[in-house]
Structure 1
Amino acid sequence: MTCLDIFMLNAYLEDKLPLRVKQDVQRHLDTCSSCQIKFEQYLDELDPFDDEVEDVWQTEATVQNVMDKLPAYPMNVLKPIQKQPVQINWKKRSVDIVKKITIAVAGLAMVVTFGTAVSPTFASYMNGIYASINPSEITVTKGPYNAKQVVNLFDKKQTDIGVKKAAENGFVQPLNMKVTDQGLTMEINAVVADPLRIMILGSVKDSSGKKIPSFWKDQFSIITGDNVNEFREVRLKDKSGKVITRIDDKSQELLRWLPLPNGENFAYGYGSDMDQFFNEANPMPDELILELRVKRLTDTKGTWNFDIPIDMRPAKAAMKTVALNKQLETPTGTTVELKEARFAPTGTKLEFTTSKPDRKLQGIRYELVDETGTVVGKWDDMMHDDDRDDNLVIISESSGAGSYSHMDYTRREPLTSWVHTYMPMDLTKNLTLKLDAVYTAEKSTLQAKLPLAELEKKPITVKSDGNEFTFKSVKKEMEDDIAVYTIEVEGKFAKDIVGVPHDWNVSDDKGNNESGRFLFDQTVNEDGTSNITGQLKVWSENADVKELTVGFNAMYKEHRADWEVPIKEEKK
């Protein structure tokens, strides 16, 4: 077990750790003199009071009143520790601390009385404290924050399952930050952050208190890549104020984070891959600051500035990383390696790499199965987005060679690494990755000449590489000054061919290269072939095309595999 941090010490003192983890902590304290000294120092920080303070506040009525409300640190975690090199009377220290904390809270009651009367922010802060020490209101199961207080901030339909789960487990920190300018009030209500992503939840209100959607609507109406800095500037900083930049581009100080709707609120955050900012050489700090400078909301210019504190310690302590380093050799000779799995409050991340990067390797297909045989996650590089199972949500997918659209690989660079991030999963359920297919790109020789006058009269069938395409009809429509030719297509893929590019090579009878897009549906037959139906759309500035030559230079083949990788935490 690694040495203890403040978050773990707090959880241990407050008896919030599972039995097995608590036993691990106790065993660690038995043998680690460094952590014993740290624990002693930490208790000293909780024990700052002298006898004069005790005499001022210690009346029987006051102490009893506070004791009725204050949950003392449980004695079962403060029992004397045996076999320790440094002898400390833990029981006496713990009783003294509880006693003096009780006295201090009695004094604090006077501060609270006056503070809440003059400061709504202080009142909100104290309400959170008292909610956290009232056992009837505690709903947190893992993290440090009151789940009930935060979960209701999120719209059930528009919040992704990872953030929702993190909120329910107490890893979303409630905030009460407000700035008013030009009659508009911007609020930051919560922040969720872990080593996978950072997201804040906020809202904008007009002078009457009505919530307005301008902050996220601006993104999809009047904000562009060229003018985004006129609306807002966002930076990520460490506790000292140093700006954190991308590892691969230190010159990019500003972050272009994407706001999204969340009911009447907005969610604003950065993807699902914080590895762009942090790695082993540049570790994630325990505390961050998200600097948000909003300069314009729709047509209203103003100043709405926030320095949002982000405590990464709870989520970092909760994250589990399982090193896997298992390799599968593909038909191209390239290996796919499942490097590691990370289990964080907002999601579960699988990281893959390849050796000998090869354009032929185009994807994989696998399922994540728990110990009961239940499929809890699924990925297929050849699956259309519309066919995905919403109950097996993948939050995001990214590639070390750049993001790409599924089924459109002709211009993609060879993969070197990529990640799939799913909803939060339970590591204790002994997951297994079961990969049953690898996809490769095979060369295609299809080139079909389509005289449009002939196609208007009868279908044209072309065979190539075992595939068959029947171009059934053509229709021309004008969109402004652009001619759109829509060609109905039916066909059949050869055995184990599972797809072709959406973008086709198209040229007209005058040698002009045109834009062609092929969208299709397919049905797999028992013999491994597939029937397809679809449309090929061609956009041309030439409204009088006589003939089109169409084709593509790659097709995608499925190779069956049988590869299983257990994903489970090593027993210590």
Structure 2
Amino acid sequence: MKCFMFNQWKLYANGELPPAASKGLEQHAVECPQCQIKLQEWVDHMLEEEFSTYPEVPVPDTFTDEVMRKLFEAAPARTARKRSSRTRRQRGWDIVKKTGLVVAGLTALVVTGTVVSPTFANYVNSLFQIEKDADNGMKNAVDKGFVQKLEQKVTDQGITFEAKEVMADSMRIAVIYDVYDQNGKQIKIGEDGHLLNAYLIDSTGKDWLEDDGPTLGGHGKYFIVEQPLNTIFESAEATPNMLTLKLEQTEIAGKKGKWSLEIPIDMKKAKEATKTVVFQDTAFHSPLGMEIELEKIEFSPSATRLMLETTLAKSAYVEVEREMEEVTLEGERSNITEKYKDPILSGNDIAYEITNEKGDVVAAWDNPFLDEGITKEKNVLRLMGAVGRSQGDYEMKWWHTFGPIQGEQKLKLQLKKIYEKKWASSKFDLAPAELNKRSATFKDETGSTFTFSAFSFESGSDNKPGVAVLTVEGTLGKDVVNTQSWDVKDENGQSHPVRLKTNSTRDKDGRVHVKGKLEIPRMEKRPKSLSVTYKEYAVEHPVNWEVPFEIK
């Protein structure tokens, strides 16, 4: 029986197939004996006709095998199982050897940036496997064939900006790039990353990042920039089939210029590779005043996205006051008090686990403000962008992202906790000069106890100013898991925002213990007195609700 795909080869040879279809055809040839026989006859004829006018250059009989041997040596060692399949695929490799010129023509199109199309081809030795900022989801996308080599570059002012690889699936696009001078020496731009302009344009010309600010590029051996799609498109289906990612720099190493690269990406394969589980009428009603409705979970090669919607009752909002500093056009400053409604519950401040049939936790979400010592989160991907979107006065949509969960399997989501935000009026009056001699201990209305034991100054570095530091330890009240919005005022009534840096642990009774410091930026001399307060804290409420589902 004639293979139904064989009629595609002429279109392939003439460059009339899109890159995704071309790549799929190449993989098909590796496995299809009928195409291998026909294709070998066709390629032999094509090569004979193409090169009949060229003088023959003698090469040893072992030339082709020697070249392929060196290619295999350059690739990572295969497992025993993969090596056992080489005999079965040997005929396919013979075809790949013969079609080298045809494949090279396709590669030239991809390298010049015509279209990047995620496929299921293996790409060995990817830079995503070694970059420090590449997470496990990106590395899994490499294994699934959703990373491609680019080698697009632009040079201005003697500086070259080169995009080396792109990863693209329905959750995100990431690009590894490099910046170097005319001598090939790498230029490092900022220790903690740098900003570059990013545009994400669909086939209609719409820029989906029009309202966003610059994108942050990190640095390991090379630079890596990531553009999440899960915060832009609410589903894989809603993602356009074609997107163009444009990256632009206007200043590098103090030199002004224009470095701009456009990477067109065919998203169809990425969308096809995303599995979706849709929930129907699956909601939890909390007596605290929040309804949590599961909408769907999507599974892509690089990430897993859970989408839920929360509806709050009017009783879940509390009127609070906050002080704000107002500055007039003449530069005059004054403090004003603003009243507003603030929710005590949130779809972000919940805890749940996703477990498999063995009971293993494959993913877990927890309150993002908890210290590492007490959080139960697992496999969470902190992708840039919003995690919640308002749907009205009382409704919000949320999405939580995890590393990839792969394969067909039965899973279960178990809601464990809901965290309630509360407001505090605690106030601790301190004499900094006395703290080094004698610590000061306070117990507040939440049942929490705090001990302040020292006041000191820590010198800064070249880029960071020094800070004043209060050493603090505490045991939080029953069911209290954290405290937020700390503030200090000196004897003159001058307010100083502070950063609380603590490590938290739990004792056998579940009480949370904190130990760390309060950092006070821009305080240059020791005050005579300090009034320390915090405005918010969180209380945990246990929940027992579960929903089974299946990836098919």
- The answer, yes or no, to whether TM exceeds 0.5 is yes
Equivalent residue, structure 1, for 2:429? 449
Deviation, 1:162, is 0.8
Indicate whether 1:243 and 2:187 are aligned: no
Distance 1:448 1:136, change over 3 A: farther
Higher strand share: 2
Partner of residue 327, structure 2:
none
1:477-507 alpha-carbon deviations (Å, 9 max, x no partner): 3869x99553333332222111111x31322
The within-5 A match list for 1:179-194 is 179-194=154-169
Q: Number of residues paired by the alignment?
A: 447
TM normalised by structure 2 equals 0.68
Distance 1:158 1:297 in 2: 21
Q: Does 1:369 align with 2:338?
A: no
Per-residue CA deviations over 1:125-174 (Å, capped at 9, x if unaligned) read xx9xx999638999xxxx73532445356415442111111111111122
The 3-state SS of whatever aligns with 1:336 is strand
Corresponding residue number in structure 2 for 1:471: 451
Q: CA–CA distance in 1 between the matches of 2:351 and 2:439?
A: 36
* Aligned-pair CA distance for 1:319: 0.5
Tell me how far apart the structure 2 counterparts of residues 465 and 112 of structure 1 sit (CA, whole Å): 89
For 1:295 and 1:132, locate their aligned partners in 2 and report how far apart those are by CA, in whole Å: 50
Paired residues of 1:369 and 1:375 also in contact (CA < 8 A): yes
RMSD over aligned CA atoms reads 4.4
Q: Kindly tell me: are residues 417 and 258 of structure 1, through their superposed partners in 2, closer, same or farther at Cα, counting changes over 3 Å?
A: same
- What do residues 172-202 of structure 1 show as CA deviations (whole Å, max 9, x unaligned)? 1222423344444433232211221111222
Q: Provide the secondary structure at the position in 2 that maps to 1:166.
A: helix
* Distance of aligned partners of 1:108 and 1:73 in 2 relative to their CA distance in 1, 3 Å threshold: farther
Shift of 1:46: 5.7
Q: Report the Cα offset of residue 526 of structure 1.
A: 2.7
Which residue in 1 is equivalent to 2:93?
A: 134
Decide which of 81, 103, 110 is 2:42's aligned counterpart. Answer: 103
Q: Would the alpha carbon gap of residues 560 and 398 (structure 1) be closer, same or farther in structure 2, given more than 3 Å must change?
A: farther
Counterparts of 1:70 and 1:319, CA distance in 2: 22
Q: Decide whether the 8 Å contact of 1:186 with 1:205 is kept in 2.
A: yes
Q: Which runs of 5+ in 2 are unaligned?
A: 15-26, 54-70, 72-88, 98-117, 317-342
Q: Specify every segment of 5 or more residues in structure 1 that has no aligned partner in the other structure, as ranges.
A: 1-12, 15-38, 54-68, 76-93, 115-126, 404-412
- 1:532-571 to 2 correspondences below 5 Å: 532-539=514-521, 541=523, 543=525, 545-569=527-551
Whole-Å separation in 2 of the counterparts to 1:322 and 1:380: 22
Q: 1:137, 1:437 → 2: CA distance?
A: 56
- In 1, distance between residues paired with 2:145 and 2:408? 19
Corresponding position of 2:275: 320
- Match of residue 404 from structure 2: 424
Structure 1 distance, partners of 2:182, 2:433, is 64
Q: Tell me the alpha carbon deviations over residues 311-351 of structure 1, each in whole angstroms, 9 at most, x when there is no partner.
A: 21111111011112532223421112232111011111112
Shift of residue 545, structure 1, vs aligned partner: 2.8
Amino acid at match of 1:268: V
What SS class does the counterpart of residue 134 from structure 1 fall into? helix
- 1:499 aligned partner, one-letter code: N
Query: Structure 1 counterpart of 2:518, which letter?
Result: L
What amino acid is aligned across from residue 138 of structure 2 in structure 1? V
Q: Deviations over 1:50-101 (max 9, x none)?
A: xxx9xxxxxxxxxxxxxxx9938848xxxxxxxxxxxxxxxxxx99x98589
Q: Does 1:267 align with 2:254?
A: no
Q: Which residue of 2 aligns with 1:530?
A: 512
Which AA in structure 2 matches 1:161?
Answer: N
Q: What residue number does 2:415 align with?
A: 435
Q: Work out the CA distance in 2 between the residues paired with 1:169 and 1:206.
A: 34
Residue of 386, 394, 419 corresponding to 2:381: 394
Look up the equivalent residue of 2:246 and give its one-letter code. E
Q: Is structure 2 residue 288 aligned with structure 1 residue 332?
A: yes
Q: Using the alignment, how far apart are the partners of 1:219 and 1:458 within structure 2?
A: 41
User: Which amino acid in structure 2 is aligned with residue 546 of structure 1?
Assistant: K
Whether the 8 Å contact between 1:449 and 1:548 is mirrored in structure 2 is yes
- 1:73, 1:98 within 8 Å by CA — same for their partners in 2? no
> Contact conserved, 1:145 with 1:173, CA < 8 A, in 2?
no
SS state at 2:493 partner: coil
- Equivalent position amino acid for 1:321 in 2: T
Going from structure 1 to structure 2, the CA distance change for 1:275 and 1:544 (only over 3 Å counts) comes to closer
Report the CA distance shift for 1:493/1:234 in structure 2 as closer, same or farther (over 3 A): closer
Inter-CA distance 347–300: structure 2 relative to 1 (3 Å threshold): same
Give the letter aligned to residue 458 of structure 1: R
Query: Contact 2:170–2:236 (CA<8 Å) still a contact in 1?
Result: no
